[in-house]
């Protein structure tokens, strides 16, 4: 019996991950799993006060990563999966960025790192990871069109 494929699309915010995931799902009959930032409990709070809400945000992303892995396992039992984010991105990229910016304390970063290592024990290893590289000007334009000006200010103006 052949294993169902698990494909992950990753890259910066507004790089086209969701669009490519949707296209793969439609054309190749993969079950899509999307990251929904609208459901993120701390998203707005984080961008209003990163130092206060950084740790909450990091933990929430790790919890969502664990939930997504449960969904991936379930879907892989019946067919191939394409996900528009990678569970390891949050610790390896975003939490590391928050730590370097002083948003996460060393203690908070170490706690997140510990949780991420535990999460990796439960994570399904993707068969293929596609990284979308996009020019900063394109990202800025797409983020602005989504009316996420707070993100533009945080990542590109500091």
Which among 66, 28, 58 is positioned nearest to 42, based on CA atoms?
58
The domains of the chain are located at 6-156
6-156, superfamily in CATH?
P-loop containing nucleotide triphosphate hydrolases (3.40.50.300)
Per-residue model confidence as pLDDT tens digits over 15-51: 888 899 999 999 999 999 998 777 778 888 888 899 9
Mean pLDDT of 139-146: 73
Per-residue model confidence as pLDDT tens digits over 82-139: 999 888 887 888 899 899 999 999 999 999 999 999 988 889 999 999 999 888 777 7
Neighbours of 6 (CB within 10 A): 21
Q: What's the predicted TM-score (pTM) here?
A: 0.78
């Amino acid at each position: 019996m052949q294993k169902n494929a698990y494909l992950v699309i990753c890259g910066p915010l507004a790089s086209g991950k969701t669009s490519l995931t949707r296209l793969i799902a439609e054309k190749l009959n993969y079950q899509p799993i999307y990251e929904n930032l609208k459901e993120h409990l701390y998203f707005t709070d984080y961008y209003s006060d990163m130092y206060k809400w950084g740790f909450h945000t990091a933990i929430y992303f790790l919890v969502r990563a664990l939930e997504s892995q449960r969904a991936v396992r379930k879907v892989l039992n019946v067919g191939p999966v394409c996900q528009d984010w990678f569970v390891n991105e949050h610790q390896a990229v975003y939490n590391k960025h928050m730590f370097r910016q002083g948003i996460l304390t060393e203690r908070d970063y170490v706690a997140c790192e510990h949780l991420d290592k535990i999460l990796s024990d439960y994570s399904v290893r993707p068969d293929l990871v596609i990284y979308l590289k996009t020019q900063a000007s394109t990202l800025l334009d797409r983020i602005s069109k989504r009316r996420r000006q707070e993100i533009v200010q945080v990542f590109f103006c500091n």
